[in-house]
Every structure is written in C-alpha cells, then in structure tokens.
Amino acid sequence: MCLAVPMQIRDLEMPLATVEVAGVSRQVNVELVDQPKIGDYVVVHAGYAIEKLTEEEALETLDLLRQVAELGDDEPPPTPGIQSGDMS
Amino acid sequence: MNRSQASAGLKQEIGTLTQAMDRIAPERTVVFMEVCGTHTMSFRRNGLQELVPERVQLISGPGCPVCVTPVEYVDHAIALAQQHDVILATFGDLVRVPGSYTSLEQSRADGARVEVVYSPLDALNLARKHPDRQVVFLAVGFETTAPVVASSVIQAEREHLENYSALSAHKVIPPAMLALAQADDLALDGFMCPGHVSVVIGMNAYAPIAQAANLPCVVTGFEPTDMLQGLLMLVSQARQETAKVENQYLSVVRPEGNPRARAAMDQVFEVCDSRWRGLGNMPLSGLTFRKEYARFDAARRFSVNLPDPVEPPGCQCGAVLRGVTQPEDCPLFGNRCTPRSPVGACMVSSEGTCAAHFRYRSVNQAT
C-alpha cells in the first residue's frame, strides 16, 4: 500500500534518518532524495524516503488525514511501520 | 477549528465535489481506470462508488503488484525457499498467493525459512545477521519499489554482502496502460495515474499514453477528496474532449519525476519483456538486473527446477486485472474464493480488486 503520511526527519546519519509523525518514529533510508536535512518532511515508501514535501504541504496533508479519521472511518489513518507490504 | 467542525468541512467538500461531477459529467457513461492498489482500496473503503454519479465509473486495472505477478514467479520463489541455506524475505501479501501446487505459506509450514519484511532494508539486515545463509528478497512492485530494491542492492555491493540477492518481478506501468488503452474489448475514457509511481517516473511518463491513445491522464493522491478531485478532473477533460496529463496530487510530482530514484533504478536494472498475469507477455514492461549487477540476481545465483505453471481452474483474475470482468461476475467470487480461502491472487492481496470488492461490499455511504 502506498503510505501518504508525511514524516518529519528528526535525526540524520546518512544514508539513514529517524523520521517521526504523531509520536511514531522509525528509521528510513534517505539517499533517494536530494539533500535531506533535519526538519524536512518526506514521503516514505517501503523504508525509503522517496520525495520531500514542503512544510505547508505536509501540514495540510496531516490535517486532512485527521479530518478523514474524524469522519468515522472504520480504520485509523495508517501508522508507519505496521504495514507488512508496500509494493507499488 | 475543532475536530467536528473539521469533519463537517470535509463532508461538505465531498458533497461539493460529487455535485460538481454530476453537473459537468457527459450524459453518456464515462469509464476511467485506476492502476494503483491503494486507489482500489481507498475508493471501495470509503464507499466512493456510492457517492459519484452512476454514469461516472472508476474501474480497477493491473495496479496490484502481487496480482500481476505470474504464477511461475510464485513457483520460482517457492523453489528458492526450499533450498536448505536460503532465507526468503518477502512483503507479506505474497506469502499466501497460490503457486501451481503450493504457496510460500505452506512451504513455511513445511519448514522453509520465509520472513515477512516491511522493507528491503530489513532483508539486508537479515543478510548481515546470517552470513552463513543466503538471503533472497522477493522484488515485486512497480516503479515506486524498484528504486528502493536497487538502492538495497547498491548498499549490498558497498558492504560486500555476497549473501544478498533479489528475484526481480518488477514491472513498469506505462506499457500496461498503453496496451489497455488500445485493447479492443475495453473502451476507456481516461486514466487515474498512481501518486507514488508518478513521484518516481514523473508526469512526462504519461504523455505518450495521452497522445497515442488520446486519453486524459490525471495523477491522483489517495485520500477520498484526492480521488474525487482526480475523478472530477478526468470528467472535466472527458466533457471537453481533451487528453492532457494533469496532476491532482502533491506538487512533489515533478515533470521528470525523482531523478535520484530513477538513477538508482537505472543503475541496477534495465527494461525487459515481462509476463503479467492477465495481460500476458508485454515488450519492455519489466525490469531485470543489468549485467554489472547480475551477481545479485537470485534467478542466476540459484539453479532450480520449476514445474509447468498451472493457473487455478475457474479463476478470473486475468480478466479482472484487465478491467474487462468485475469481481462480482466471477463465479468463484464470495463463495469458493474469499479472503479467508482465496483461489486467485486478486483475492489474496490486500490491494487486490477482488479483496477490495469483497471486503467493502457492505459499505453504502462514506458519510
């Protein structure tokens, strides 16, 4: 599944970074994005950051995800790190 | 804004989008195809098919990577898992897909070492931890996953991890889209293009399809409002009879895609002819190891005997993947074939069209 949740880089030791969203953090590889920096928001796929997002775009997406969760969706917004497969 | 105001705002936005669609959609039925398992799931999970006008249809194509992977690949993976020194690392969905005679799940029950991983990084870790074993990663997926696997192979090369390899079933999506756009038994009005594949390959990758098939292509995100907006953009182009490539999704989808990801993919893999379940062999639609990285190719590293491939009798997955049959039209759907006891790959994978139709068949309204 494609995980559209933007995650923020908290710690960086190339090629790995610790990224975080909503209190959940995980380690991802960031060598497929241009000049990753602490504070950047990234889109994560199968353990790799595949693109950077502007802060505005990331916050807008996170806000939208919260609204979708609020709509009584039967499933919470995806939590990074619990997917068993991520293949597209 | 508090939470209930926020969700009221979202409901209103969904209502606005579906009303706009009804207002501008042509009077005839228009049929669009998405080619992304996450789109398949999001559309059904949120009951969007109930919200859009009946004459606007979004059907699923070959967007589920596990589903399009042919049975002989599953047989190959099983044969590798049965080698005594191999640890097979795979995304979870593949484990239950039936091969010709058995599955990875059954092989694991019979003693094979099959590890479900979230990322090829986990497979690399297995290789580091078990230097006396061969770790084979099942490289299944489209252009979003191929760079990730390529990067793991480059990392293995850097570390001289000689016990790491991958079995590539990677596919590239544009040739499949073009084949379906030109198929005689399908009449499509446009494509909803996958958000994350597009992050890698870029908007430009769809221009030849829009041009050759004269069909609009709209790169679309995964949330309900994203999908409704994407669909509205397609409907609008259908009304205006245009065939442009547009982007509903994040501005990070660039015309040229992600050059670093593409460079990693191109460093390790090259395009090859490839067999897809349902679509058959398509020229230049898959990815195989370049000769510089051939030593990481599990297909070359291990010699195995493979059975003649046998598809499950009665299974309509092939036609479902082409969009010419809907899951409900398959005689096995919901009785002999369910997520608990699947016959075909499209019911096994969480991204499969049949699984999505079965799981969310009782959802009437998302709001």
| Residue B350 banded pLDDT, cuts 50, 70, 90 | confident
* C-alpha span between B367 and B365 (Å, rounded): 5
Please report whether residue A85 resides in a domain. no
Here the CATH number for the domain that contains residue B40 is 3.40.50.11750
Q: What pLDDT is stored for residue B7 in this prediction?
A: 74
Please report whether residue B70 resides in a domain. yes
**Residues B330 and B343 occupy one common structural domain:** yes
* C-alpha span between B201 and B122 (Å, rounded): 25
**Residues B271 and B326 occupy one common structural domain:** no
- ipTM above 0.95 for this complex: no
Looking at the predicted structure, is the pLDDT value of residue B151 above 80? yes
Length of chain A: 88
Looking at the predicted structure, is the pLDDT value of residue A82 above 60? no
**Residues B167 and B280 occupy one common structural domain:** yes
The count of domains in chain B is 3
Q: Tens digits of per-residue pLDDT, A51-63?
A: 999 999 888 888 8
Q: What pLDDT is stored for residue B366 in this prediction?
A: 37
- Helix ranges restricted to H, chain B: 3-24, 37-45, 48-51, 65-68, 71-81, 104-109, 120-129, 146-158, 173-181, 195-201, 207-213, 224-240, 259-268, 298-301, 317-321, 345-348, 353-359
Interchain CB contact of A68 with B (< 8 Å):
yes
**Residues B138 and B200 occupy one common structural domain:** no
**Residues B91 and B236 occupy one common structural domain:** no
**Residues B110 and B152 occupy one common structural domain:** yes
Chain B environment of A63 (Cβ under 8 Å): 6
Average pLDDT estimate for A58-85: 61
Q: Tens digits of per-residue pLDDT, B34-50?
A: 999 999 999 999 999 99
Here the CATH number for the domain that contains residue A43 is 2.30.30.140
**Residues B141 and B236 occupy one common structural domain:** no
Q: Tens digits of per-residue pLDDT, B109-148?
A: 999 999 999 999 999 999 999 999 999 999 999 999 999 9
Which range of residues forms the domain containing residue A55? 5-69
Q: What pLDDT is stored for residue A81 in this prediction?
A: 39
Please report whether residue B14 resides in a domain. no
Say whether A57 and B10 touch across the interface (CB within 8 A). no
Closest Cα in chain A, distance from residue B228 (Å)? 14
The count of domains in chain A is 1
Q: Tens digits of per-residue pLDDT, B177-218?
A: 999 999 999 999 999 999 999 999 999 999 999 999 999 999
Which residue is associated with the tokens 């939208």? A64
Which is it for the CA torsion B193, B194, B198, B200, positive or negative?
A: negative
Please report whether residue A25 resides in a domain. yes
**Residues B192 and B332 occupy one common structural domain:** no
Which range of residues forms the domain containing residue B341? 317-362
Please report whether residue A80 resides in a domain. no
**Residues B182 and B199 occupy one common structural domain:** yes
Interchain CB contact of A39 with B (< 8 Å):
no
Average pLDDT in chain B: 94
Average pLDDT estimate for B74-97: 96
Average pLDDT estimate for B166-177: 98
Please report whether residue B22 resides in a domain. no
**Residues B353 and B205 occupy one common structural domain:** no
Please report whether residue B335 resides in a domain. yes
Chain B environment of A15 (Cβ under 8 Å): 155
Q: Which long-range contacts (CB under 8 A, 24 or more apart) does B21-26 make?
A: B21/B52, B21/B53, B21/B56, B21/B228, B21/B231, B21/B232, B21/B235, B22/B53, B24/B232, B24/B235, B24/B236, B24/B239, B25/B53, B25/B55, B25/B56, B25/B235, B25/B238, B25/B239, B26/B55, B26/B235, B26/B238, B26/B239
**Residues B72 and B116 occupy one common structural domain:** yes
Please report whether residue B46 resides in a domain. yes
Looking at the predicted structure, is the pLDDT value of residue B363 above 60? no
Nearest chain A residue to B150, by CA: A32
Length of chain B: 367
| Residue A87 banded pLDDT, cuts 50, 70, 90 | low
Please report whether residue A24 resides in a domain. yes
**Residues B280 and B157 occupy one common structural domain:** yes
Q: Could you tell me what percent of chain B has a pLDDT over 70?
A: 97
| Residue B265 banded pLDDT, cuts 50, 70, 90 | very high
* C-alpha span between B85 and B166 (Å, rounded): 15
Looking at the predicted structure, is the pLDDT value of residue A72 above 80? no
The pTM score is 0.92
